[in-house]
């Protein structure tokens, strides 16, 4: 059985646990191999390189954009990476070799970035393409660092490991992402070596350009499809659970166990990714199952996401959502009976690159929920000038999801749970597929709503 397994940044920063709980646990020499690991950068490294994913705090990339001293910024980053190397010395990282590797890679990056600046200064090229290429180069440093270190540690533990460097720093081959992955794994005997691949893959289409910060999961997905893996495993620092344990408490956060790709898409739509949606699609189409495991509970089987799973018993599997959305409603007395009224709204949204999470209509009003982001507010200014009346409200959306919820009672129980907690439903959505009940509520009641729906729909005494 060949598996492709991804280890996230938080888990990588506790690599001793990864070594004991994921790589070596319950393994003999005969069962150690037939596994490919795709690793993320250590926790916060990509934030330091690019920008903080949640707060937007600028990293090295901002120095390059602003024509500031990015080389000193990279030197400071290098010191942080050397500190990470030092922290891994107790689990047998050869720090002399590891330090030499990352110093050399950073010097290579400086050379490439310097050349890019000269091209920009020439005035003959469009700057945005160069900036995007610089972003790619910087992003790749984190995964190269963690993957090289992992191989060194494994080899020092007597495990035959192979470094699969997909960053393309040492070649100028015009390969697509798929071509580079396919070439990298050709001729490898997976039964005799444990492969560790960088989560970043260089390709002519630009993996950051296409997938931004979800790129490591895309690499993971594409590798699994290319090698025809029997299973794709994602190791996280938590289970895929009925609700966020930080909100409802660990004792009330129940591992899901089994679900399907449709539910994974619903989660991604509200920003709670079991796996990046663009990474999930190749696996879904290839019929490869995903298993999500908790690094720190290694004996738990985790949750399997498959194409065809439907719960044998009607139940809500997951309560999720976000409080980082806004609702906007277009009202027009002349809307009633007018064919295609919402087409002009969709055209405005398309112009600004805005998609919606939920849409609900009545005779003369259309309400949509979208992410509360600057470009959405720019779109709303444009829309305001073209419609009769526009109302905008900061809200939260809470979703109750399941593979088998097309039965009487679930909506009643969900609405009653919110009523019992004096939480008003501002708007509601559910498609004929009946896999996701979407409740729009006041933003300040989000956490209360998650707890209420989890207690009423997921906790089974």
**Mean pLDDT computed over every residue of the chain:** 94
Cα distance between residue 316 and residue 259, in whole Å: 11
Percent of the chain whose predicted confidence (pLDDT) is above 70? 99
Would you report the helix, strand and coil content of the chain in percent, each value rounded to 5?
Answer: 45, 20, 35
pLDDT digits (tens, 9 = 90+) for 348-370: 999 999 999 999 999 999 999 99
Mean pLDDT over 323-336 rounds to 96
Q: How far is residue 191 from each of residues 28, 29, 150, 160, 328, measured CA to CA in Å?
A: 13, 11, 19, 10, 56
| pLDDT tens by residue, 42-99 | 999 999 999 998 888 999 999 999 989 999 999 999 999 999 999 999 999 999 999 9
Full set of structural domains in the chain with CATH: 3-237 (3.40.1160.10), 318-458 (3.30.2130.10)
pLDDT in tens, 105-134: 999 999 999 999 888 887 777 788 899 999
Mean pLDDT is lowest, of 176-185, 209-218, 232-241, 389-398, for 209-218
State the pTM of this model: 0.90
Running DSSP on this structure, what letter comes out for residue 254?
-
Per-residue pLDDT tens digits for 264-320: 999 999 988 777 888 889 999 999 999 999 999 999 999 999 999 999 999 999 999
Helix (H, G, I), strand (E, B) or coil at 288: coil
pLDDT at 14 over 70: yes
Q: For residue 460, what pLDDT is reported?
A: 66
Q: Over 50: is that where the pLDDT of 180 sits?
A: yes
Instruction: Residue 66: count other Cβ atoms within 10 Å of its Cβ.
Output: 10
Strand locations in 66-221 (E) = 161-164, 194-198
More confident residue, 274 or 453: 453
SS3 140: helix
**Which residues face 74 on adjacent strands?**
none
Instruction: Tell me: pLDDT of 40 over 90.
Output: yes
Instruction: Please give the angle made by the CA atoms of 426, 55 and 49, to the nearest 5 degrees.
Output: 145
Name the pairing type of β-strands 289-294 and 365-371.
unpaired
Is pLDDT at 161 greater than 90 in this prediction?
Answer: yes
- Tokens standing for residue 194: 């444990």
Question: Of the candidates 180, 142, 141, which has an alpha carbon nearest to the alpha carbon of residue 164?
Answer: 180
Task: Look at residue 461 and tell me whether its pLDDT is greater than 70.
Answer: no
Residue 151's pLDDT is what?
98
HSE (side-chain half, CA atoms, 13 Å) at 28: 1
10 phi/psi in degrees, rounded to 5 = -65, -40
Per-residue model confidence (pLDDT) at position 128: 86
The pLDDT value recorded for residue 213 is 82
Do 120 and 127 meet the contact criterion of CB atoms below 8 Å apart?
yes
Question: What is the rounded CA–CA span in Å between residue 176 and residue 23?
Answer: 30
C-beta neighbour count of 328 within 10 angstroms: 23
> Which residue has tokens 């809470």?
398
- Residue 271 pLDDT: 85
Torsion of CA 169, 23, 5, 254, to 10 degrees: -140
Tens of pLDDT, residue by residue over 214-260, are 899 999 999 999 999 999 999 998 899 999 999 999 999 999 999 99
- Rounded Cα distance between 49 and 27, Å, is 36
């Amino acid at each position: 059985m060949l598996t492709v397994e991804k280890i996230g940044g938080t888990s990588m920063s506790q690599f001793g646990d990864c070594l004991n709980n994921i790589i070596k646990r319950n393994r003999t020499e005969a069962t150690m191999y037939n596994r490919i690991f795709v690793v993320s950068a250590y926790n916060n490294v990509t934030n330091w390189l690019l920008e903080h994913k949640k707060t937007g705090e600028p990293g090295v990339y901002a120095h390059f954009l602003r024509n500031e001293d990015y080389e000193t910024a990279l030197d400071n980053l290098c010191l942080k990476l050397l500190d990470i190397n030092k922290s891994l010395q107790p689990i047998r990282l050869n720090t002399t070799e590891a330090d030499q590797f990352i110093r050399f890679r950073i010097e290579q990056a400086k050379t490439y970035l310097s050349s890019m600046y000269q091209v920009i200064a020439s005035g003959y090229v469009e700057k945005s393409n160069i900036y995007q290429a610089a972003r790619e180069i910087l992003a790749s440093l984190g995964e190269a660092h963690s993957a090289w270190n992992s191989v060194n540690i494994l080899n020092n533990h007597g495990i035959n490991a192979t470094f699969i460097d997909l960053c393309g720093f040492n070649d100028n081959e015009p390969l697509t992402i798929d071509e580079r992955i396919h070439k990298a794994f050709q001729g490898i005997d997976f039964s005799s070596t444990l492969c560790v691949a960088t989560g970043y893959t260089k390709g002519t289409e630009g993996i950051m350009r296409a997938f931004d910060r979800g790129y490591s999961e895309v690499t993971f997905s594409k590798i699994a499809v290319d090698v025809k893996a029997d299973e794709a495993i994602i190791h996280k620092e938590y289970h895929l659970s009925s609700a966020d344990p930080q909100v409802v408490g660990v004792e009330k956060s129940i591992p899901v166990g089994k679900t399907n790709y449709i539910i994974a898409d619903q989660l991604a739509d509200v920003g709670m990714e079991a796996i990046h949606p663009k990474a999930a699609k190749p696996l879904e189409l290839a019929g490869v199952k995903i298993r999500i495991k908790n690094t720190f509970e290694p004996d738990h089987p985790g949750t399997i996401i498959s194409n065809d799973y439907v719960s044998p018993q009607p139940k809500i599997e997951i309560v999720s959502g976000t409080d980082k959305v806004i609702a906007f409603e277009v009202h027009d007395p002349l809307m009633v009976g007018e064919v295609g009224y919402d087409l002009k709204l969709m055209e405005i949204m398309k112009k600004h690159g805005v998609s919606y999470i939920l849409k609900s209509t009545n005779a003369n009003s259309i309400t949509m929920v979208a992410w509360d982001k600057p470009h959405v507010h720019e779109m709303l200014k444009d829309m305001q000038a073209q419609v009769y009346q526009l109302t905008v409200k900061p809200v939260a959306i809470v979703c109750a999801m399941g593979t088998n919820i097309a039965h009487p009672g679930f909506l009643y129980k969900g609405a009653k749970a919110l009523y019992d907690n004096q939480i008003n439903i501002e708007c509601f959505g559910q498609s004929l597929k009946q896999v996701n009940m979407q409740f729009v509520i006041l933003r300040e009641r989000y956490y209360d709503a998650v707890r209420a729906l989890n207690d009423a729909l997921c906790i089974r005494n």
